[in-house]
Structure 1
Amino acid sequence: MVVTAVGMAVAPQLTGLTEAAHGEASDVELRGLSQRSYVYAVDGSLIATLQEEENRAPITLDEVPDHVIDAVLAVEDSGFWDHKGVNVRATVRALLSNVDAGGTTQGGSTITQQLIKQSVLTSEQTFDRKTREVFLAVRLEEQMSKEEILERYLNTIYLGNHSYGIQTAAETYFNVSASELDPGQAALLAGMIRDPIDYNPFRYPEVAIERRRIALSRMVDEGHITEDDAAWYNAVPLPTEPSQYTPPPDDYFVEEVKQALLADPRLGETATDRFDAVFRGGLQIHTTLDIGLQYLSEVARNDTLAPFALEGEPALFIAGRNLAGFDAVGTVASATVDPGTGAVRALVGGPGFGDQYKFNLATQGYRQPGSSFKTFVLLELLEQGYAPQDTISGRGPCRFNLPTEDEPYEVENFNNSRGFVGSIRAMTTASSNCGYVRLGQIAGIDNVTELAGEMGIVTRNAANEIVPLDPSFFSTPLGTQEVTPLGMAAAYAAIANDGHYHTPYFVERVLDRNGDVIFQHSDPGTRVVSIETAQIAADILKENVERGTGTAARVRGHDVAGKTGTAQDSSNGWFVGFSRQLSTAVWMGAMEGNVPMNRVGGRSVTGGSYPAQIFGRLYNAVLGNMEPEPFADPPARRGTGTLRLDRNIDLDGYTTTVPTRRRRPPSRTPSPTTTAAPAPTTTADPGGGNNGNGNGNNGNGNGGGTSTPPPSTEDFVEP
């Protein structure tokens, strides 16, 4: 009698509510739906999706098969096309059942009511909330068409395992698009709507099988399928684990894209705004990644390391013994940019973006570049007007007096070579340490570090802060201040681009969920050296590849240029080079820091060994089928003669001085070179840390040149 009384009391109130809802009122506002964002390569192919808890990919009703709609309506709201938002009889029946049971045991909500609960109200179980739900459902039916309501509902419902909406549910449970769901799959999903946690087929398969059976039975009752169809689909095994339908965001390049967007104020003023935009905003993120080039970069690395790679780990090898006496694992990182724009086309950040190797060595791994840094000294000299044929002593070992040091700073050429007296060009192709320490003083270390900074080069200090290069380090030409592969690739790209530098970037443009452009990358670039300087430098570095220390990087029929680098004790190996089309830096070393690589594949690692081989393999694969784009012929430049340092500084060089010319602007003056080498650093990541031991023995692999000096040149035009 009590239940009947409740029913008699409630029914008129619900009827009154539905009638009252037809009066004038403001529109019902549904909360916006979170949508995952899409990340695309430069060719438009999808490389990742970005989402947090709510993985949602809205689709239109036209994309949903009829049997999916039939399954959902058969289970959740068979009278959907007929009611006005509320099924009064079903609501009263559910209410009576719940009162009788003392709790919520039966649902009576229409799809419209469910949508109101999910997009306007909460799931609170109170009579007041239910009455508002009824009222707003009727309002919504007047405001939106049935098709619009159903489409919004199918994109809103939660179906477990982070799947929001029918599209992501189809992906998660069946590895298909919603348009490819069959009736049996549709029945399973429809049966999960009421309780996706307890009906989860991965955890509770028996319950899920029963829910599918009920859904198929109702589809039979509604005339959508036959008994035989239902029997067939009931016999199909359930899915047992989630599918990965879209590419996961577990990638060094994608991580850089994420971090760039999360720091970009164009996506929101606050960190929270930007987070919501990236992970819930349904953005279309078009990046600079060239998938083919990325693949070839990884293949070049793996093929080169193959003879000594760890079993099952093609990108790892034993670099050597660390200070604790244990084997240190080594790998390769590289970065490739487009010289004309700065677009990052490929990024090998480490052996693989797994749990152990998320640290990106290409963008965050600051390591000593060795002799590959000599290029900045070369550029500065050329900017000051010096010529490739100007001569300098490269004899070694060489000693230098420093104002603050009690003992002379001593530098050795690679393999303790005696070196020779020769041209700037010869010092470059032989990678003479003694020659370039002297050239660094002639150019001015302050000028060299300033130019490198203009070309995007920064370093890391003892506090793990990213700071400008320190102009007080006498050893700077030998590459003792740490840099990253991406920074080096972008800097060398300016040479390939006739002296025009572009900051490296990962994101080309971002569109909102409606396809409207939020921003488009634009960078006019900066001229850092003259066209003449860039062309002369490219010619010298081209010769270094053809007959200097970088011969392993040669590409038949194509012009490539570059410089090798080997840090002290073979602890870091580099090759940085370019063609007209691309610029690439390859680094090789131990992941934990500076570890001597003296027995890797039966030899010591130098920049001219495996790093140059990786570069050569990559560029032969990339340029092999392309039309050659030769470097411009360098302009002739009159030489200035033999370059010398003050004998009070250079204890083993010439005994007279030659005035040096300073680079523009004239206000630049040399800073005191009082520090022999960077002090050791303590790092918070698996980076290298400066070793700065002061002997300068960081040549690049083929020795310091012949001991027989070539003829001295004075005041003649380079042919």
Structure 2
Amino acid sequence: MRLLVRFLFISIMAGVGLAAGVLLMVPAARALTGAIRFRSGHAVVELDQLSLRSLVYDRNGKVMATLHAEENRSPVSLSQVPPQVVDAVLDVEDRRFFHHPGIDIRSLLRAGLTDVNTGTVRQGGSTITQQLVKNSLLTPQRSVHRKFREAILALRLEDTMSKQQILERYLNTVYFGNGAYGLQAGAETYFGTDVGHLTTVQAALMAGLIRNPQGYDPIRHPEAARQRRDVVLDEMVAGGHLSQGDADRLKLEPLPIKVVNPSPPDDYFVEEVKQRLLDDPRLGDTATARYNAVFRGGLQITTTFDPDMQQKAQQSVRDQLPNSDGQFTAALIAVEPSSGAVRAMVAGADFASAKYNLATSRGGSGRQPGSSFKPFVLLAALEEGHGVYDPVDGSSPCTVRVKGYPPYSPKNVEGEANGPVTLLNATAHSINCAYVRLGASVGLDRIVDMASRLGIPRSKLTPLPSMSLGTEEVSPLDMASAYATIADDGVRHEPRFVEKVVDRNRHVVFEGGDKGKQVVSAQLVREAVLAMRAVVQYGTGTRAALSDREVAGKTGTSENYENAWFVGFSPQLATAVWMGSPSGNVPMRDVGGIRVFGGTYPAAIWHQFMAGALQGLPPLAFSAPNPDEIPPPEPLKVAPPVRSRPTTSLSSPPPARPASTLPAPTPTAPPSVPTTATSSPPTSLGPTSTTRPRRRPPPSTTNGNNQP
């Protein structure tokens, strides 16, 4: 009965369609604001741009991920579609497509008669042009009025676009089920292949899905899908595109048993790329515009991701991180100093179970870097006129007083260094009291300024007396980026995850990063590198040393062993490694049988990763500072020792060749350092810059409370 009613409706519509067309032209146009434009008094149909998926590539051009909203679509040109696919679609949907003007009265009548005679819906009543209009311009409601508008717009669309353009657009528009829009996505979803590789039997299944993607789903409804596929094969025989024998043979072919849906990005790196693009004003002035560009704009996004380095990073964490039943984990991020490109990132144990990115701290505040913050204090002191061979009082315990803050009384880890120590050795052996006094003397505002210039976001820096020991909360990305500035002779590059973005029209939206900005003089940075090389040569970070090349870095351990760091670099790569609890600050007093310092597991992870990541690259040396510009040490008066303790080699200049097999960082023999304490009251608790001019004007301050 339903088929008979449909046949009568088609007959009536065929009889009155042309007569009613003229009368309905104007109201139809008015009802479709935005779909029709008027040119020289004639209505011209214009189709909106298709929603296209965006592809994310690694630096080698391999697809990493697919980004799309509700429609997973990748357009193809008609020339990419095999003839058997076109034949299958036209034979079952619109055999006279190339012979009608957009509507086909004859096909309407034939389809109705066929459906009535067979008792099944074998052929479509609408032309491909009408289907395109329906899918692109009209609401899904069913009514006679909408059917007439569909026919009128189909006629107009044929005046606007060629048959080839209409067919190409149609094949890229139709829905094949399971989230696949267009032929390419359909081929990937059901057969895991490119549209150009579809076989005849696969093409028949695809063509059969167009009428009812849910009802003919080969996974959920295999018998219905098989019957529909066989109908298409029969129609291809009737159309002269397939022999009956071939059709019978193809009907024996199995159906696909699973779909290959592109899963949402389950990768920390891709997620970071996505979030940064959604924040990038170059992709749109509003959040909505940027969302549409990323998920519907058909972008080609080339990232800075290096898959080989990533594999080495993950392997290093697996090999060196002790088993703690998931209580503790590690994060690693590697930045190219010359460009700011992020090459590898280990941001957590499992993205599926924990979306929080431990490497970038997106959505969080970060972790205390401990003594890995000290190079920023050192550079602030060097900029004030001090030298790496200047002595500073390292006696412990110590109390510093900064105006506006309560007294701060830290101590050295083991109570070392009751007396003066060079800045170089205070860095190598991470002597807390030396650095707290140094920071108070230099000025907290200057430390904030230096750290922010190097790459630590100013919003994360609060000028407290404890900041010299790394009590601010930062991310591994912050630290790796700041150390990359040091590695590149004081040239700052913003860290970046994206190398290039190309839009759907193959226009480059943006490419590359910034040109870099000199934020600290190369001479000062090279002096600081002397001290940071000493860390890995004979200081707290010897586990990080590489036998075949020069590296520099700094260990860091926060209070109560809650965070452990090693951050370091070669001239080609800067890497930060953090270890701690992903759920918060949990002491690491017994992990793998030891208390965790930055020089233990983090340094071992860093060593293994850098050894692999730099393999094949030339072993570049650091540029040496100009020895004539290194200030000679100035006298220091120190407070009397608190307790008697034999002095160690920490207060001596570095030996010509320490126990490490690497050469000591001594471009010139360091001047002797006065070590005799005087009985007169100390003039300061750290080096002063009153005995010689500063090398450059100090950074400006905003108020007397050391606020940035």
* TM-score, normalised via structure 2 length: 0.84
CA–CA separation in structure 2 for the residues paired with 1:593 and 1:42: 34
Which residue among 283, 288, 293 is the counterpart of 2:309?
A: 293
Q: How does 1:96-245 map to 2 (within 5 A)?
A: 107-244=124-261
Shift of 1:255: 1.3
CA–CA separation in structure 2 for the residues paired with 1:118 and 1:3: 21
Equivalent position SS for 1:411:
coil
Equivalent position SS for 2:409:
strand
CA–CA separation in structure 2 for the residues paired with 1:269 and 1:293: 35
Which residue among 261, 264, 274 is the counterpart of 1:258?
A: 274
Shift of 1:383: 0.9
CA contact (8 A) 1:444 1:670 kept: no
Q: Does 1:660 align with 2:688?
A: yes
Matching residue of 1:563: 554
CA contact (8 A) 1:14 1:88 kept: no
Question: What letter corresponds to residue 116 of structure 1 in structure 2?
Answer: V
Question: What letter corresponds to residue 358 of structure 1 in structure 2?
Answer: K
Shift of 1:224: 2.4
Matching residue of 2:342: 344
Shift of 1:240: 2.9
Distance 1:185 1:250, change over 3 A: same
Count of aligned pairs between the two proteins: 640
Matching residue of 2:385: 385
Matching residue of 1:457: 456
Q: Does 1:359 align with 2:356?
A: yes
Which residue among 23, 47, 60 is the counterpart of 2:64?
A: 47
Matching residue of 2:664: none
Greater alpha carbon shift after TM alignment, 436-445 vs 513-522: 513-522
What does the per-residue CA deviation read over 1:356-375, in whole Å, with 9 as the maximum and x for residues that have no partner? 21111111150010110111
CA–CA separation in structure 2 for the residues paired with 1:224 and 1:93: 20
CA contact (8 A) 2:93 2:124 kept: no
CA contact (8 A) 1:40 1:287 kept: yes
CA contact (8 A) 2:94 2:124 kept: no
Matching residue of 2:612: 621
Matching residue of 1:641: 634
Give the unaligned 5+ runs of structure 1. Answer: 310-316, 319-327, 460-466, 675-719
What does the per-residue CA deviation read over 1:321-364, in whole Å, with 9 as the maximum and x for residues that have no partner? xxxxxxx622111211111221222222111321x211111111
Equivalent position SS for 2:260:
coil
CA–CA separation in structure 1 for the residues paired with 2:48 and 2:581: 51
Q: Does 1:573 align with 2:572?
A: no
Shift of 1:25: 2.7
Matching residue of 1:414: 413
Higher relative contact order (CA 8 A, sep 6+): 1
Matching residue of 1:77: 94
Question: What letter corresponds to residue 83 of structure 1 in structure 2?
Answer: H
Shift of 1:8: 6.2
Which residue among 15, 24, 32 is the counterpart of 1:12?
A: 15
Matching residue of 2:657: none
CA–CA separation in structure 2 for the residues paired with 1:605 and 1:129: 72
Question: What letter corresponds to residue 90 of structure 1 in structure 2?
Answer: S
CA–CA separation in structure 2 for the residues paired with 1:656 and 1:201: 86
Shift of 1:105: 11
Question: What letter corresponds to residue 489 of structure 1 in structure 2?
Answer: A
Question: What letter corresponds to residue 370 of structure 1 in structure 2?
Answer: G
CA–CA separation in structure 2 for the residues paired with 1:10 and 1:388: 93
Matching residue of 1:462: none
CA contact (8 A) 1:447 1:670 kept: no
Greater alpha carbon shift after TM alignment, 295-304 vs 155-164: 295-304
Shift of 1:404: 7.3
CA–CA separation in structure 1 for the residues paired with 2:110 and 2:390: 98
Distance 1:83 1:268, change over 3 A: same
CA contact (8 A) 2:330 2:578 kept: yes
Give the unaligned 5+ runs of structure 2. Answer: 26-39, 646-676
Which residue among 526, 534, 547 is the counterpart of 1:535?
A: 526
Matching residue of 1:431: 430
Which residue among 61, 79, 92 is the counterpart of 1:62?
A: 79
Q: Does 1:593 align with 2:584?
A: yes
Question: What letter corresponds to residue 298 of structure 1 in structure 2?
Answer: Q
Matching residue of 2:600: 609
CA contact (8 A) 1:446 1:671 kept: no
Q: CA RMSD in A?
A: 3.1
Shift of 1:258: 1.2
Greater alpha carbon shift after TM alignment, 248-257 vs 564-573: 248-257
Equivalent position SS for 2:578:
strand
Shift of 1:415: 3.5
Equivalent position SS for 2:499:
strand
Shift of 1:557: 1.9
Distance 1:534 1:6, change over 3 A: closer
Equivalent position SS for 1:279:
helix
CA–CA separation in structure 2 for the residues paired with 1:68 and 1:606: 64
CA contact (8 A) 1:413 1:419 kept: no
CA contact (8 A) 1:419 1:432 kept: no
Equivalent position SS for 1:574:
strand
Shift of 1:88: 0.3
CA–CA separation in structure 2 for the residues paired with 1:19 and 1:449: 75
CA–CA separation in structure 2 for the residues paired with 1:219 and 1:50: 36
What does the per-residue CA deviation read over 1:255-312, in whole Å, with 9 as the maximum and x for residues that have no partner? 111111111222222211111111001112222222222222112111212xx33xxx
Identity %: 47
Distance 1:149 1:8, change over 3 A: closer
Equivalent position SS for 1:115:
helix
CA contact (8 A) 1:394 1:432 kept: yes
Distance 1:67 1:6, change over 3 A: closer
CA contact (8 A) 2:6 2:112 kept: no
What does the per-residue CA deviation read over 1:685-716, in whole Å, with 9 as the maximum and x for residues that have no partner? xxxxxxxxxxxxxxxxxxxxxxxxxxxxxxxx
Q: How does 1:489-568 map to 2 (within 5 A)?
A: 489-568=480-559
Shift of 1:54: 0.4
Shift of 1:24: 7.8
CA–CA separation in structure 1 for the residues paired with 2:626 and 2:612: 31
Q: Does 1:332 align with 2:330?
A: yes
Shift of 1:609: 0.9
Q: Does 1:279 align with 2:283?
A: no
Question: What letter corresponds to residue 66 of structure 1 in structure 2?
Answer: P
CA–CA separation in structure 2 for the residues paired with 1:199 and 1:430: 71
Shift of 1:84: 2.3
Distance 1:411 1:125, change over 3 A: same
Distance 1:97 1:669, change over 3 A: closer
Distance 1:91 1:669, change over 3 A: closer
CA–CA separation in structure 2 for the residues paired with 1:368 and 1:8: 78
* TM-score, normalised via structure 1 length: 0.83
CA–CA separation in structure 2 for the residues paired with 1:435 and 1:2: 94
CA–CA separation in structure 1 for the residues paired with 2:619 and 2:12: 88
CA contact (8 A) 1:557 1:628 kept: yes
